[in-house]
Amino acid sequence: MAGRGRGRGKNVSFNVEALGFGRGEALPGPISQPPPLFPTADFKPVPFQQSEEYDYMLALKQEFLGNMRKSPFFLQASHKRKDIERYSDKYQAAAEVNGKWKPDWRRLPAELKPRVRKKTKSSIKPSVKVKSKVKLSVEDVSKTLEELEKKEVDQGDEEEEEEEEGGKKKEEGEVEEEEDEIYDEEDIEEETDYILSYFDNGEEYGNDDDDADEGPVY
Amino acid sequence: MTRRQHDVCRFLLFQQFGEQVSVVGKYLLQKSPSPLHLISSETHLDTEQVKKILCILIQQNIVTFGQHKRGFIEYSIRTGEILNRLWFPKYIYCAKTLYGDAAELLLEDVLQRGQVQMSKVIEVVMQRFNEALETSGKQKISESFVVDKFSNLVRTHFLQRCLDPIKSESNKVVGLEVTGEEETLYRLPDLSRKRKKSHDDGPPAKRSKSERPADDEGDGIFWRVNNERFHQMFRDQAIVQAISSKIDRSAGEVLRAMLRVSEVKTAGMATVTTPISVTEIFNALPKDLMARPLLETYLSLICDDSTNFLSKVGDSGGGMYSINIYEALAQLVKAHIESVVQERFGSKCLRIFRVLLLKKHLEQKQIEDFVMISAKEAKDLLYTLFSENFITTTEISKTPDHAPSRTFYLFTVNIQHVASMVLNRCYKALYNAMVKKETEVNEHRRLLDKQERMEAIAASVEDASQRDEILNTITPSEQEQIIKVRRTIQMLDHSELQICEGIFILEMYLMYFKQRQKDKS
């Protein structure tokens, strides 16, 4: 547009010589493709600095990474393929237990604690227990029997059904209680697995060389 | 935070903590303060797993948390902490050179666990160190030796306390305290207390008032590595090394003494140290290194040097000198970039680059004259540098319409801009090296595993002929390949380490540059 007035035939509006192109010199063609992914280097890279310091740091680096991978902070992918049961499996599992790490909950927000199922279960309990306690009072047994006799005379069959229902409820309550106990045990087991039985006397620390199947240390 | 840095962060997490952690890390890198439920729903990971990951990251000082004003807890990631992991080998090496092997083990353990309690780490180090000593047949060390090393590291601020958690009214941890005084971070616990506890219960520690810690929980004071202190140390080392290779070793010693004296007096990020008198420097120097007149000569020599490391700011006390840390870093970065230009584009380009550094603003014609290269070649090289963003132009128009024919185009070098570009390339190179190494290992995992297993079996077998038989299961061609792979990995690791050196100087310079901008405004 702007070049319409002056330089006929040229496609730039300004004097190309200002850019340093000589008179009559061809302008470079347009570039219509991205630069190559692996451009050829005009200059070879310089060799590494060799010194004992670097060699030692290299060893430190590799050792640190190796230790990091064996530490409890390294999370293995949970969906490990279990194609066949191997003889070595149980030893690997043992190795993982060795490196358990127990977070200090005094320093972490409470919401990060692994959830314990116990709390949610206990909320159902009370309603059942109250009923069963009333039934179980021993001294009143004779009285209630008497009362029931009276009522039986008065109201007949209807009352009997209610009585049966009550019995059933009591049984259910007991079953539920038993279930709760089982859960509790599980929970405790889990807890101990994670916290109480944790004791690291540091013996395992450092001599991880035995578990060669952890992956290469490079 | 650039994309390259993100890549490196992500990869470091993947390398050191596994894939799932890197997924959470990636999410947090993008949307830093986020609550727990958002993290788990966005990353499609199990909530329990995310909790575990966050615990690990907090333990490793990578994630911090705080309370949002609506009451829930937010987690944010600290990219600097992840990138600092690049220098861990250097930290450990530094501790070794300063305080010996016990300190090396100490630091290694602290770095690996992120936050540790003093009693535990000392126990572990004792055990490891004594084992190592036993195999080499040396005398065992006592606990007090390791304790001594630990307190040394704390006293010199290489280790510091972790921030104490803030508790809400319902005794829940909601965030981390912000310490006002720096001194409290480096206060060692009373070591004699432990002994007291054994016979009478003693006064309970400050923190255990609310909940008495069980014995294996320790004293509740956690320690971590103070990264800034190490960086300061490396910075000083770089400056001293530069001056010793430019002038001589004694000049380096003078500068080292000055840095040591100013360490105590100068604020953390000051671009210029507080002035130090000659007397002070003389007293800080190792005895019988040099006489006082010689010291004064050295000081004036360093002052007159083109590097501008040192400047005389007063005459009191035999002359006051201060080190210009920003200037020193700028010089180091310039030298770095110059060598990058030389190695990438050749020495002729370096000549152009240097001319521009010296003369600041130049027109194309002037450059061609100054560098004394034929005009055509100079033009070509200049535009190569320009297209690679090592130099920039400033337009100065004679008329307000900015018509090209009436405009001066001045070429110039913006060091800060070039530094950040080179830094970005360093991160890219680092990431590429790390990824390449990972693929190399994965590709040959079977082979490397096999070799390792064979070696383990061979080590346990006593009969020599049997051992040979086992070792022969690796064929010569496999052996060859293993050697080749190991060499490649070694090379890549080496390159990572040396790229990190470059990154350190560039990062330091950019940090001080920002600080200086802040000071000015």
**What pLDDT shows up at residue B123?**
85
Does a structural domain hold residue B333? no
**Tokens read off for B518:** 């802040």
Q: Percent of chain B beyond pLDDT 90?
A: 30
**What pLDDT shows up at residue B355?**
93
**What pLDDT shows up at residue B430?**
94
Residue B429 pLDDT more than 90? Answer: yes
Residue type, A85: E
Shared domain for B244 and B221, answered yes or no, is no
Domain that residue B259 falls in: 229-323
Residue type, B120: K
3-state class percentages of chain B: helix first, strand second, coil last, to nearest 5: 65, 10, 25
- Give the separation between CA B495 and CA B429, rounded to whole angstroms: 9
Closest residue in A to B347 (Cα–Cα): A43
Give the H/E segment covering residue B373: none
Shared domain for B219 and B128, answered yes or no, is yes
Complex-level ipTM: 0.82
**What pLDDT shows up at residue A120?**
47
**What pLDDT shows up at residue A192?**
47
Mean per-residue pLDDT, B187-216:
45
**Tokens read off for A100:** 């358990």
Q: Which residue has the higher pLDDT, B56 or A176?
A: B56
- Give the separation between CA B291 and CA A164, rounded to whole angstroms: 109
**What pLDDT shows up at residue B231?**
92
**What pLDDT shows up at residue B262?**
86
Shared domain for B35 and B137, answered yes or no, is no
Q: Are strands B362-363 and B73-77 parallel, antiparallel or unpaired?
A: unpaired
Residue B172 DSSP class = -
Q: In sequence order, which ranges of chain A are alpha helices (DSSP H)? A: 52-70, 89-98, 118-122, 125-136, 140-155, 157-191
**What pLDDT shows up at residue B209?**
37
Per residue in B65-77, pLDDT tens? Answer: 888 888 888 899 9
CA angle centred on B374, ends B371 and B378, rounded to 5°: 60
Residue B402 pLDDT more than 50? Answer: yes
Does a structural domain hold residue B330? no
pLDDT band with cut points at 50, 70 and 90 for residue B52? confident
Shared domain for B423 and B407, answered yes or no, is no
**What pLDDT shows up at residue B127?**
86
- Give the separation between CA B185 and CA B381, rounded to whole angstroms: 54
Mean per-residue pLDDT, B357-368:
89
**B chain contacts of residue A109, beta-carbon cutoff 8 Å:** 65, 73, 172-174
Does a structural domain hold residue B92? yes
Shared domain for B215 and B109, answered yes or no, is yes
Give the H/E segment covering residue B412: strand B407-412
pLDDT band with cut points at 50, 70 and 90 for residue A7? very low
- Give the separation between CA B426 and CA B4, rounded to whole angstroms: 9
- Give the separation between CA A43 and CA B489, rounded to whole angstroms: 23
Choose one of B413, B432, B453: the last residue of a domain. Answer: B413
Residue A160 pLDDT more than 90? Answer: no
Residue B30 pLDDT more than 60? Answer: yes
**B chain contacts of residue A212, beta-carbon cutoff 8 Å:** 452-453, 455-456
Per residue in A75-95, pLDDT tens? Answer: 876 555 556 666 666 665 545
**What pLDDT shows up at residue B161?**
85
Mean per-residue pLDDT, B234-260:
90
How many structural domains does chain B have?
5
Does a structural domain hold residue B248? yes
Shared domain for B464 and B481, answered yes or no, is yes
**What pLDDT shows up at residue B511?**
93
In order, the DSSP letters of B106-160 are: HHHHHHHHSSEEHHHHHHHHHHHHHHHHHHTT-----HHHHHHHHHHHHHTTSEE
**What pLDDT shows up at residue B97?**
92
Choose one of B365, B385, B413: the last residue of a domain. Answer: B413
**B chain contacts of residue A110, beta-carbon cutoff 8 Å:** 172-173
Q: Any chain A CB within 8 A of the CB of B112?
A: yes
Q: Percent of chain B beyond pLDDT 70?
A: 92
**What pLDDT shows up at residue B208?**
38
Residue B90 pLDDT more than 90? Answer: yes
Interface contacts A/B by beta carbons within 8 Å? 161
CB A2 within 8 A of CB A13: yes
Among candidate residues B177, B183, B144, B135, the one with its CA nearest the CA of residue B160: B183
Residue B422 pLDDT more than 90? Answer: yes
**What pLDDT shows up at residue B198?**
37
Residue type, B371: V
Give the H/E segment covering residue B362: strand B362-363
pLDDT band with cut points at 50, 70 and 90 for residue B330? very high
CB B322 within 8 A of CB B266: no
Q: Which of A85-89, A159-163, B289-293, B365-369 has the highest mean pLDDT?
A: B365-369
Per residue in A11-67, pLDDT tens? Answer: 666 666 666 666 677 777 788 888 888 888 778 888 888 888 899 999 999 999 988
Residue type, B173: V
CATH number at residue B234: 1.10.10.10
CA distances from residue B441 to A62, B171, B348, B497 in whole angstroms, order as listed: 13, 48, 40, 18
**What pLDDT shows up at residue A84?**
66
Shared domain for B60 and B9, answered yes or no, is yes
Shared domain for B276 and B309, answered yes or no, is yes
Name the CA dihedral angle for B181, B185, B186, B191, rounded to a multiple of 10 degrees. Answer: 120
Choose one of B77, B107, B142: the last residue of a domain. Answer: B77
**What pLDDT shows up at residue A207?**
52
Per residue in A169-196, pLDDT tens? Answer: 455 544 444 444 444 444 444 444 555 5
**What pLDDT shows up at residue B196?**
39
- Give the separation between CA B1 and CA B518, rounded to whole angstroms: 19
For B43, other C-beta atoms within 10 Å of its C-beta total 18
Q: Is B488 helix (H, G, I), strand (E, B) or coil?
A: helix
First-to-final CA distance of chain A: 64
Shared domain for B103 and B217, answered yes or no, is yes
- Contact check, Cβ <8 Å, B498/A48: yes
**What pLDDT shows up at residue A50?**
86
**What pLDDT shows up at residue B96?**
92
Cβ-Cβ contacts under 8 Å for A111 (sequence gap 6 or more): B36, B51, B73
Residue B519 pLDDT more than 50? Answer: yes
Mean per-residue pLDDT, A85-113:
67
Q: Which of B55, B216, B448 sits opposite A216 (nearest CB)?
A: B448
CA distances from residue B389 to A44, B143, B323, B386 in whole angstroms, order as listed: 21, 57, 32, 5
Listed range (B96-100, B233-237, B397-401) with the worst mean pLDDT: B397-401
Mean per-residue pLDDT, A153-167:
56
Q: Which of B445, B456, B493 sits opposite A58 (nearest CB)?
A: B493
Per residue in B250-306, pLDDT tens? Answer: 888 988 998 888 887 777 778 888 888 888 888 888 877 788 888 888 888 888 888
Q: Which residue has the higher pLDDT, B254 or A105?
A: B254
A161-167 long-range contacts, CB within 8 A, separation 24+: A166/A131, A166/A135
- CA–CA min distance B228, chain A (Å): 20
CA distances from residue B301 to B43, B183, B209, B307, B325 in whole angstroms, order as listed: 60, 37, 60, 11, 18
**What pLDDT shows up at residue B194?**
46
Shared domain for B300 and B256, answered yes or no, is yes
Shared domain for B104 and B221, answered yes or no, is yes
- Contact check, Cβ <8 Å, B36/A202: no
Shared domain for B240 and B365, answered yes or no, is no
pLDDT band with cut points at 50, 70 and 90 for residue A4? very low
- CA–CA min distance B122, chain A (Å): 11
Does a structural domain hold residue B282? yes
The counts of H helices and E strands in chain A are: 6, 0
CB B39 within 8 A of CB B58: no
- Contact check, Cβ <8 Å, A68/B379: no
- CA–CA min distance A97, chain B (Å): 16
Does a structural domain hold residue B408? yes
**What pLDDT shows up at residue A90?**
60
- Give the separation between CA A20 and CA B375, rounded to whole angstroms: 9
**B chain contacts of residue A42, beta-carbon cutoff 8 Å:** 344-346
Residue A114 pLDDT more than 50? Answer: yes
- CA–CA min distance A183, chain B (Å): 19
**What pLDDT shows up at residue A49?**
84
- CA–CA min distance B282, chain A (Å): 31
Cβ-Cβ contacts under 8 Å for B266 (sequence gap 6 or more): B273, B274
**What pLDDT shows up at residue A86?**
66
**What pLDDT shows up at residue A83?**
63
Does a structural domain hold residue B318? yes
CA A171 from centroid of its chain's CA atoms: 40
Residues making up chain B, counted from first to last = 521
Give the dihedral sign, CA B40/B43/B44/B45. Answer: negative
**Tokens read off for B453:** 């297993």
Mean pLDDT of chain B: 85
CB A148 within 8 A of CB A154: no
Among candidate residues B236, B271, B232, B238, the one with its CA nearest the CA of residue B501: B238
